Amino acid sequence: MKHRLLFFLAAACATYAQQAQDPEFARLVKEWTTKPEFVSPLVDHLPKAAGIPTPKDVLGYYVGTPKKLTHVADLLRYYRALESASKRVKILPAGRTDEGREQVVVAIADEDTIRNLETYRGYLAKLADPRGLNDQQAKQIAAQAKPIYMFSGGLHSAETGPPEMLMELAYRLVAEDSPLFDQVRRNLIVMIAPVLEPDGRDRYVDWYYRHKINEETEADRVAGPPYWGRYIYHDNNRDINYSQVTMRNWLKFYLDWHPPIMHDLHESVPFMYTFSGQAPQNPTLDPILYAELPWLSNFEMTKMFGYGMPGVWDHGYVDMWSPGYLGFMSSNHNGMLRMYETFGNGGANTMKRSVAPTEGNGGGPNQTTREWYRPLPPYKEVVWSMRNNTNYMETGVLSALEIASGYAKTLLENFYEKSRNSIQSGSSEAPFGYVLPSGQSDMTRVAFIVNILRLQGIEVGRATADVKLKDGTFPAGSLIVKRNQPYGRLAKILLEKQVYPDQNLRTYDDAAWTMGLMSHAEVQEISDKAILDVPVQPVDTFRVPGSVQGDGSMLAVLHNGANSLVTVRYRLKDVKVEAIEQTFKSGETEIPAGSFLIPSSQRARTEIENLGLKAVALSAAPSVPRHEVDLPRLAMFSTWGSTQDVGWVRYAFDYYEIPYDLIYKERVRKGNLRDSYDVIVIPNQGRGNAKSIVFDLESKGNPIDYMKSQEFPTLGAYGDSSDITGGMGLEGTLELDKFVKAGGVLITLGISSYLPAEYGITQTVDAQRTSPQFYAPGPIVEAEITQPSNPIFYGYPNKTVPVRYANGPLLRVPQDDRKKQVLMRFPGTEKSVLSGLMKGVAEIQDRPAIVEVPSGRGRVLMFATNPAYRWQNLGEFNMLANAILHYNDVPKASASATAE
């Protein structure tokens, strides 16, 4: 036995030693790596393999070449060349982006595994849903299975290195001969998502070649392009409800293949941070996961310190609280999210970087100090190159593959155990489930929640009869989510109230996301175990059919808070629609204020039914006060430097079919806004103050254009500019003021509400700041409607509503005006924090949440909240939709507002 082993090793060494190397690669890597300690023996060489193309063979340059970035089509061209040359590779389709680019995943393993990929997919599917298997059977499957270890890069387009590095990784995985690579190919299925946001990648690469390729120093650095993908920027990693087509495709891929590990490669802090899942941690996720994460990240640190590479650390950065990061699709589904941040320059130029915070560069957390989790810290100053970035990331990734391939069975058993534990915890620990009762006045909100749960692979059923539980009685047709299912833990995480574990801990993103509160839908947590036995019919997609009761020449479409009410108005834009201002009854049906009166037609009936609305046919118009719901000429203002939160509002408007012009400083400065528009919405944007909205990107003398050209076809999308710097300036604010005085309605959301206050468009309203002790990472808090008859509250029958509030302005209205101008306020008590964390809640006590201020012939509507936040707080959206639909109908009594 011993003899044979020796023979094998000798034979193996002989084979490995024979592999020819590319001397040019080794020479250039040495040249591009800025210090000898910034490379490892894993990546300082490139073997040659007959017939297998390297990235350079296809692209003409090595990965890590200074000033070279690769467009999506060329990335795919490389992977396709690799696939046609080797039976170790298979490319799997994963859909198309918003802009029509291909999404693919590249699978790499030994030939036999690739040939039997479907079989391995089947094994993982069983481990992901082990119902019906006992432990022994599951472990037998785990013994035959292989874990998929999936890497992804390019979610954030400015983080340019990972999509480059992944090509070289793919090549090595296919071509390199060594015991390590053999073990990886034999024991794992490596998958690579070459670029998670293909639209943004192409736009960023174009931008790099247009504006950033000549950057030599930190001071030269130009801001990024105004857009990555179609709507959102960095928040593609915060799209908890998978609103974006591209991100939804990745989730579908995940649920088709169940990779037990997803490893998302980002770029920011020096030199490399490897995520270990620190506190605050979501306690609902499996303890095994919290042990796996530091196990793997510590292994990588061990290896990289062994190679002498400084600046690798694994604590003190991102935590495990919010489930909304894209890669969390894995940990949320009993897998494991891994993540790196590697240092990068936002392009492919080599440049000197000051890493430690100094007075000049803002003084963020110091990531160059020695700490227990950073025993070999990054240098305070460094010349950094693209190749350094590749070396670090690739060395880390290969170390991760070393341990994962060495412990493949452990990882598979863990995956199974996490799945099993999720099912078991749902049958042994309360809450045992959730009920979304049928018969809620607006079931479209329930449909929103149910369909997101379904998208996430969570099983939902409809009760076939009335449900009697200790927690209450619910009518037949109620939606039932039982916890004893593979993704029962995720259901709990999404539906429960977030109880923040420690007020002294900060979190990287949101503290709250409770879907029922965000949507203003009733979701009942169930402590009665009997829910597990409630007979249900499984729901695939939950559709709410609209209804029209009775016959008559006029339809009263109920304003029951459905967001699709605004859609029906726009779909029938050529029809005269009126809104009633007082509730009345038609037979047994209460028709609430804000309901529409529409002449009956087949078309109107069809739209009402399609949109899940309820209507009652009337023989004549009721004798209650009403007004015409005419449609405004609508604009949405965006800075060039902060388009993301605008993007979320654009997404919501597009989704609900509200047409608008997207305008920038160019249009504002041109003036005569009132000639073109009735309403201008300024979504939340900027860097926390009004100045950053007014002056936006600093002009450094040279104009920075964002224009489409033959050479740069992706630039100039969603608006163009010959110079994106400088902002609207004081002249712009003056034009906004003129717009309002001439009868326009200006609506500001969140941070943007500083603008009218601080630039005197609303002279009496102040916007103040919270104290440094105040901390509100997006909790859901209670707000009280103080002017229930204002049309913006049509569809809100309750006095208090849950709203999301982060660090928006603290508005202040003079005492005498409060009664008239404050439409909604924050009680600001401890018990008004409904989910998540608000530290220093007293600071918002009795502060206005929404203010309406007349000015000249127009008015300004200021939200301290953001009613269109990341496609989450859809319950608040009607406040904005109503404000648009009834723009010239409020306040009726005030002489200063005009109905044009």
Residues near Zn ion (CB under 5 A) = 156, 159, 266
Q: Is residue 345 within 8 Å of residue 271, measured between CB atoms?
A: no
CA distance 839 to 826: 15
Tell me the closest approach of the beta carbon of residue 365 to Zn ion, in angstroms.
17
**Which tokens in the block code for residue 771?**
């104290």
Tell me the closest approach of the beta carbon of residue 159 to Zn ion, in angstroms.
5
Nearer residue to Zn ion within complex by CB, 237 or 278? 237
Write phi, then psi, for 723 (nearest 5 degrees): -160, 110
Write phi, then psi, for 44 (nearest 5 degrees): -85, 5
Tell me the closest approach of the beta carbon of residue 307 to Zn ion, in angstroms.
25
Q: Is residue 281 within 8 Å of residue 320, measured between CB atoms?
A: yes
Question: Using omega within 30 degrees of 0 as the cis cutoff, is the peptide bond preceding 891 cis?
Answer: yes
End-to-end CA distance of the chain: 94
DSSP characters for 846-893? T-EEEEEEEETTEEEEEESS-TT-TTT-GGGHHHHHHHHHTTTSTTTT
Tell me the closest approach of the beta carbon of residue 225 to Zn ion, in angstroms.
16
Tell me the closest approach of the beta carbon of residue 237 to Zn ion, in angstroms.
6
**DSSP bridge partners of 383:** 352
**Which tokens in the block code for residue 691?**
């100045």
Greatest alpha-carbon pair distance for the chain in Å reads: 100
How far are the Cα atoms of 210, 305, 724 from residue 706, in angstroms, in the given order? 9, 43, 7
Tell me the closest approach of the beta carbon of residue 814 to Zn ion, in angstroms.
44
**Which tokens in the block code for residue 623?**
């004798």
Nearer residue to Zn ion within complex by CB, 319 or 413? 319
Nearer residue to Zn ion within complex by CB, 529 or 870? 870
Tell me the closest approach of the beta carbon of residue 399 to Zn ion, in angstroms.
21
Which of 48, 45, 61 minimizes the C-alpha distance to 18?
48
Tell me the closest approach of the beta carbon of residue 266 to Zn ion, in angstroms.
3
**Which tokens in the block code for residue 149?**
């270890």
Tell me the closest approach of the beta carbon of residue 155 to Zn ion, in angstroms.
6
Nearer residue to Zn ion within complex by CB, 126 or 156? 156
Nearer residue to Zn ion within complex by CB, 235 or 607? 235
The position carrying tokens 């005269």 is 576
CA distance 156 to 201: 8
Contacts of 5 (CB under 8 A, 6+ apart): none
Tell me the closest approach of the beta carbon of residue 348 to Zn ion, in angstroms.
17
How far are the Cα atoms of 251, 306, 641, 679 from residue 347, in angstroms, in the given order? 28, 29, 18, 39
Nearer residue to Zn ion within complex by CB, 162 or 294? 162
Nearer residue to Zn ion within complex by CB, 79 or 325? 325
CA distance 542 to 445: 11
Nearer residue to Zn ion within complex by CB, 318 or 810? 318
Task: Tell how strand 810-812 and strand 833-835 pair up.
Answer: unpaired
Within a 10 A sphere around the Cβ of 119, how many other Cβ atoms? 12
R_g (Cα) of the chain, nearest Å: 29
Nearer residue to Zn ion within complex by CB, 156 or 445? 156
Nearer residue to Zn ion within complex by CB, 314 or 402? 314
Look up residue 54 and give its DSSP letter. Answer: P
Nearer residue to Zn ion within complex by CB, 158 or 634? 158
Tell me the closest approach of the beta carbon of residue 297 to Zn ion, in angstroms.
17
Tell me the closest approach of the beta carbon of residue 105 to Zn ion, in angstroms.
19
Nearer residue to Zn ion within complex by CB, 326 or 593? 326
